Structure 1
Amino acid sequence: MELSHSQAVIRLKDIKEELERLGDKTELTAEDEQSFDELTREFAEVDNHRRQLERKSALERVRSATKATERGPAATKVEGGTPLSSRDSYDLDPILHPDSVEDHRFRNPWDLSEVRTFGRSKEDVGTELRARALSAIEKMRGCNDSIRGTATDILERWDDDEATIAKLCLATSSPEYLRAWSKMARGHSHLISSDEQRALERAMSLTDTQGGYLVPFQLDPTIILTSDGSKSDIRMAARKVVATGDVWNGVSAGAVSWRWSAEGSEAGDNSPGFEQPSVPVHKADGFVPISIEALMDEANVTTEVGRLLAEGKDILEAAAFATGTGSGQPTGLITALAGTASEVAVATAETFASADIYGMEEALPARYRRNASWVANKRIYNLVRQFDTNGGADLWERIGNGQPNELLGYPALESEDMDGSWNTAVAADNYIAVFGDLTNYVIADRLGMTIEFIPHLVGSNRRPTGQRGWYAYYRVGADSVNDAGMRVLNLATSV
């Protein structure tokens, strides 16, 4: 019998369930009778094995404690079973060896003092840190299941060989760090304990800048927006990635050139042309003021700060993702497509009609239509509704009944920062609608928003106003990585 204690317990449970299943039958076949007898004997053998393991473990702990007592109070504690210096001890049974490193990892995943790096590869250490981070996400305080699910997805999909995201998660999600950050957010830094100070210093070692403190992982606006949904429809439909550096680098390729080949013929050079699109990330900052009275009265100020930062971030990005210049800020969807081969002109000069909607759909290659969406200002959608007042063939937008709006059967997303009107007396380009697969527009979020607490705000005469505030900054980038997958409608006007 070579089962570990945990394996024996699991096997006993399985045998019990099978015996109960057989016992519920009104009549047992000869085969059932034989199985019942064999399972009963196996249960007795496994249960006896379990008891022997528990007795052996208890005896080992008694011997260890006795030896430590004989050597005196300064004696080094000896772990049960194989010494921890052995590689095999890393996966000791956590029930028989409750003080093993493996069990300690899941009891307190934030304690990295037990993480061994000597003699281990970078990949092995990274795997250890990611396992701890996943355990930490399950134990994170002050968040809901939606945030936990999003944090797990980010960690599993985007963490690198250096375990950058895992390190950030472990450093900024611990109870000590959350308590320290909450005190800092209230201006009570003098109340920070030694454990909390070490947690702050550990998190500070991960930042590129000096000063400020990383927002706790569970309150990070990037994670909050991803889990609870953004007000920006472009962010919701775009491809979202996590950047761990100053630039996100991707890979794109054209369609592979296949051919029909005869038996035994030499293969042709059908490899696609690869490109490496890059999306630089840019710094954005914000400020949240609050009066001293409000700060004293607010019971859960840290959660409110996270919510306010997320709302401000969402509003700022909504404009940038639509019309951002790409200089010191993300490149907007319109900015990326305007003036390219993806630009489509209206059928009749200075006139917007239903034919333009159909023309946009026809201009997009079929392979991109399967995941296509519309993006436009609400005013443009209202004009579309007025194309056919009689409910005829042109009324192809689904409205009401709790269903999302659809135009020609594709989701109709909204961006109030896009053009919603035009002036025929002024020469200008008016980009009034985008249609295409928005996963070709990439938003690169760099995790880790930093915040600084400003204890006193001053007025124009340099005297305190009785207000305090939080100055926050983070980095994000966006750009199109494949213009061919989208089309933009330009209603050009002239004098």
Structure 2
Amino acid sequence: MPQLQLSHQQAVIRLQDIRAQLEELERRDNLTAEDEQQFDELTREFADVDSHRRQLERTSALQRVRSATQATDRGPAALAVAPGTSINSRDSYDQDPILNPDSVEDCRFRNPWDLDAMRTFSRSKGEVASELRARALSAIEKMGGTNDTVRAAATGIIEQFDDGDSRIARLCLATSSPEYLRAWSKVARGHGHMISPEEQRALERAMSLTDSAGGYLVPFQLDPTVIITANGSRNQIREAARTVVATGDVWHGVSSGAVAWSWDAEATEVSDDATTFAQPSIPVYKAAGFVPISIEALEDEANVTQEVARLLAFGRDVLESAAFVTGTGSGQPTGIVTALTGTSSVVSPATAETFAAADIYALDAALPARYRANASWLANRNIYNSVRQFDTNGGAQMWERIAADVPPMLLGRPALEAEDMDASFNAAATADNHLMVYGDFSNYVIADRVGMTVEFIPHLVGANRRPTGQRGWYAYYRVGADSVNDGAFRMLNVATTA
């Protein structure tokens, strides 16, 4: 399209597209001759479009000046404010963002999703990121189809985990707007042909933020990552684990040992008390799910998009509950049992091939005191029932009460359930039986990558390649998990031999 036919809004959007392409080329280690040529062409085009944008801004500003001057020439009455009218009224929202850019800043919370009015040129990266975060927080307050609990969780994700490039804020703005929610709902129901131009632009803006090929990002307010964070999880390990949000393929953390303080005499050189820093990393892996639905059910369901979001969150939780316990770490998260197996954190029973009350106390005593204050137990329900039967005389051997409205506790620490932990052991078989894990689960990190993608499959076919009268949603997302400090845990292994 010739440059002079671009509107101001189109010019700004094109400049943003050029910038994204240039940054993509910059990230490549080696540029081919074709890449070099593309870089030069994009640079020249950027200069031309930017010059055209500035010309449009000068023209718009001059028109406003002429209009104001003409009003002044007609006399003071033309500029008078009607009685009872505030200069900060709703009419001020229509101020020209070019002639009066501060008006956009003052009124951005009315429509935080309108990024076309946002100034980016001549502003630092930090200023742009700060405004994007402010807009995202405002969008969270206004986004529909959600509740206050999800809004609180979404706000926490933005405030705690957004990076310097405001990638999460951009994702939130792109996928929480009313236009995007309407467009996604139409696509999810197979009505993509009914999308309006505004909704199509909202879809394109969201897709520009991800490297996924095909499919559409689940709206931010329906993203299972946010829903699980807000509403809790049936997988109780999430309640105690440290949950972070990853914006890339790998989450990188920082850990260190305690500073080695020393006693130093007066006027003597201090000893080298430096700590050793480490950088634990947790890769994120792709998980996928499929939700089939009949054509009849799809037509009869009044709010199918909300129901799909609920099903996706439930299925995700079921998948993760096993991975966070026994995940291999190869193509899937590393489970806590997998992480501790073979380490010094494994504790053997007092009596071989026997599980007794003494083993509970031994596990508690083996955990360092600095982790004990925030420790939790993790075991199968059957194991907890075995613990309750250790004292059959009604004494206080385990300092435990079994009563209504009393939270499950063991030795004064929360007792979390995990169905994927070993539920029993067979003394006649050769096997490892990891019955309990005890420790500070803030040292087990779950890295969620915000942004689940869903593709709508219009027709499912049977064995003879004929339609079955069903449709479905293919969803995929990425998550990782691992222990970043094995010393914060102790695991009871009742090993048996045939």
Instruction: Name the TM tier (shorter chain).
Output: 0.7 to 0.9
In the aligned structure 2, how far is the partner of 1:468 from the partner of 1:375?
39
Counterpart of 1:392 in 2: which secondary structure? coil
Correspondence for 1:491: 494
User: 1:405-420 maps to which residues of 2 (within 5 A)?
Assistant: 405-420=408-423
Q: Is the 8 A contact 1:434 1:486 kept in 2?
A: yes
Q: Secondary structure at the match of 2:316?
A: helix
Does the 8 Å contact 1:456/1:467 carry over to 2? yes
Contact 1:133 1:170 (C-alpha < 8 Å) held by counterparts: yes
Aligned twin of 1:37: none
Structure 1 segment 302-317 matched on structure 2, within 5 A: 302-317=305-320
What aligned pairs does 1:333-372 form with structure 2 within 5 A after superposition? 333-372=336-375
Q: Which structure has the bigger radius of gyration? A: 1
Q: Tell me the residue number matched to 1:170.
A: 173
Deviations 1:455-478 (A, max 9, x none): 111111111111110000000000
> Which letter does structure 2 place at the counterpart of 1:189?
G
* Secondary structure of 1:107 counterpart: coil
1:101-120 superposed matches below 5 A: 101-120=104-123
TM-score after normalising by structure 1:
0.81
Residues 472-487 of structure 1 mapped to structure 2, 5 A cutoff = 472-487=475-490
Give the secondary structure class of the aligned counterpart of 1:287.
strand
Q: Paired residue for 1:226, among 224, 229, 235?
A: 229
- 1:137 corresponds to: 140
Question: 2-side partners of 1:68 and 1:131: how far apart?
Answer: 37
Q: Is the 8 A contact 1:254 1:272 kept in 2?
A: yes
* Preserved CA contact (<8 Å) 1:398 1:407: no
Q: Which amino acid aligns with 1:122?
A: K
Q: Following the alignment from structure 1 to structure 2, what is the Cα–Cα distance between the partners of residues 473 and 405?
A: 35
Could you say what secondary structure the match of 1:398 adopts? coil
Alignment of 1:216-255 (within 5 A): 216-255=219-258
Task: Kindly state the Cα deviation for residue 61 of structure 1 after the two structures are TM-superposed.
Answer: 12
Q: 1:192 aligns with which of 188, 195, 214?
A: 195
Which residue pairs with 2:378 in the alignment? 375
Structure 1 equivalent of residue 456 of structure 2: 453
Tell me if structure 1 keeps the 8 A contact 2:97–2:117: no
Partners of 2:101 and 2:67 in 1: CA distance: 22
CA distance in 2, matches of 1:65, 1:298: 59
Is 2:335 the partner of 1:332?
A: yes
List per-residue Cα deviations over 1:265-312 (Å, max 9, x = no partner): 221111111111000000000000011111111101110010000000
Q: CA deviation at 1:490?
A: 0.3
Counterpart in 1 of 2:218? Answer: 215
Determine whether 1:318 maps to 2:318. Answer: no
How far apart, CA to CA, are the structure 2 residues paired with 1:475 and 1:182? 22
1:90: how far off? 4.7
Instruction: Give the 3-state SS of the residue equivalent to 1:448 in structure 2.
Output: strand
Contact 1:347 1:355 in 2 (8 A): yes
Instruction: Report the CA distance between 1:264 and its aligned residue.
Output: 2.3
Given that residues 357 and 398 in structure 2 are in contact (C-alpha distance below 8 angstroms), is that contact kept between their aligned partners in structure 1? no
How far apart in 2 are the matches of 1:69 and 1:188?
55
Amino acid at match of 1:458: V
**Cα deviation, residue 69, structure 1:** 12
* Poorly superposed stretches of 4+, deviation over 2 Å: 60-70, 82-86, 260-265, 395-401
Moved more, 452-461 or 113-122: 113-122
Q: Work out whether residues 235 and 317 of structure 2, in 8 Å CA contact, stay in contact via their aligned partners in 1.
A: yes
* Count, aligned residues: 418
Rounded to whole Å, the distance in 1 between the matches of 2:446 and 2:155 is 19
Q: Per the alignment, in what secondary structure is the counterpart of residue 354 of structure 2? A: coil
Matches within 5 A, 1:369-408: 369-408=372-411
**2:111 partner amino acid:** N
- Tell me the secondary structure at the aligned position of residue 109 of structure 2: helix
Give CA deviations for 1:361-381 in whole Å, capped at 9, x if unaligned: 000000000000000000100
In structure 2, distance between residues paired with 1:267 and 1:418? 49
Match for residue 271 of structure 2? 268
Aligned pair in 2 of structure 1 residues 201, 83: CA closer, same or farther (>3 Å)? closer
Give the equivalent residue in structure 1 for 2:151.
148
Q: How far apart in 1 are the matches of 2:150 and 2:204?
A: 25
Cα distance in 2 for residues equivalent to 1:309 and 1:84? 41
In 1, are the aligned partners of 2:345 and 2:491 still within 8 Å (CA)? Answer: yes
C-alpha deviation, 1:84, in angstroms: 5.6
Distance in 2 separating the partners of 1:185 and 1:313: 19
How much has 1:258 moved relative to structure 2?
1.1
Q: Which amino acid aligns with 1:175?
A: P
After superposition, the C-alpha distances for 1:168-224 in whole angstroms (9 at most, x for unaligned) are 000000000000000001100010000000000010111112100000000000100
Cα distance, 1:65 vs structure 2: 9.5
Q: Which one-letter code corresponds to 1:436 in the other structure?
A: G
Counterpart residue number, 1:287: 290
Superposition pairs for residues 410-449 of structure 1, below 5 Å? 410-449=413-452
Q: Distance in 1 between matches of 2:417 and 2:72?
A: 70
In structure 1, what residue type is equivalent to 2:308? V
Letter in 2 for 1:454: I
- Deviation readout 1:365-412 (Å, 9 max, x if unpaired): 000000000000001000000000112131422323312110000000
1:118 CA drift (Å): 1.2
Structure 2 CA distance for aligned equivalents of residues 493 and 435 of structure 1: 21
Alignment RMSD (CA, Å): 2.2
Q: Secondary structure at the match of 1:207?
A: coil
